[in-house]
Amino acid sequence: MSYAIMPFKIRLDALNEVLALRDEALFAWLRDRCRAELADLDDWSDTERPAREFLADLVLGRIPVERSVHLYGYCVKALCELWGAHLANEGWWGMRYGWFGTVSEAVARAGVKYDFTDLIIGGPGVDCPAPDDFPLMGHITRDRLQSHLDRLGGIDLAKVDDRQVVEAVEQVKSWLLECRRDDMDLVCFYH
């Protein structure tokens, strides 16, 4: 089985403001807009509680349940798909978790310490229970984009002999650059 990073550019402050509204009409609109994603979650999820209830917990500020909490992460991903824009991820598609270490080690040999798992650790930047399973979630806020770009800009990619690693590094840099250009935050999901 292979996995992927699904990166999004999004304004986390705007998404957090929407979630803080605790509005029933907004929830009904979101439920309708996310109908396909919620149906997919219900199809493959091993829970009797429908995915729309997890979305309702997030949007209406209800106390989260303690079972199947990974569905909260997938609901946040659906919100990112709705409010944000998906970024190209060819360099991070069809890979296993070990790929993060491969890329991080190659970059370290080229002179820069950068842990690519940071992209998927730390949560999505909104109030959401930590998943008990996939998706792994991480974010980089707008005010931190440049520091990541500075670190990645210090890599001498000529010293990296694996073309796939070079492409993966360049792709992460492209996410950061696009988010900086559009004054957006970066949110990544891994599953």
Give the β-pairing of 136-140 and 85-86.
Answer: unpaired
Q: Residue 61 half-sphere exposure, CB side, CA atoms within 13 Å?
A: 10
- Residue 18 is predicted with a pLDDT of 93
- Provide the CA 112 distance to its chain's centre, in angstroms: 24
- Residue 180 is predicted with a pLDDT of 98
What pLDDT digit, counting tens, does each position of 151-176 carry?
Answer: 999 999 999 999 999 999 999 999 99
Contacts 24+ apart (CB under 8 A), 95-99: 95/2, 95/3, 95/4, 96/2, 96/3, 97/3, 97/190, 99/168
Q: Identify the band that residue 133 occupies on the pLDDT scale cut at 50, 70 and 90.
A: confident
Q: Identify the band that residue 46 occupies on the pLDDT scale cut at 50, 70 and 90.
A: confident
What pLDDT digit, counting tens, does each position of 112-127 carry?
Answer: 999 999 999 999 999 9
Tokens 């990166």 belong to which residue?
7
Mean pLDDT of 28-52: 94
- Residue 131 is predicted with a pLDDT of 83
Q: Does residue 53 surpass a pLDDT of 60?
A: yes
- Provide the CA 114 distance to its chain's centre, in angstroms: 18
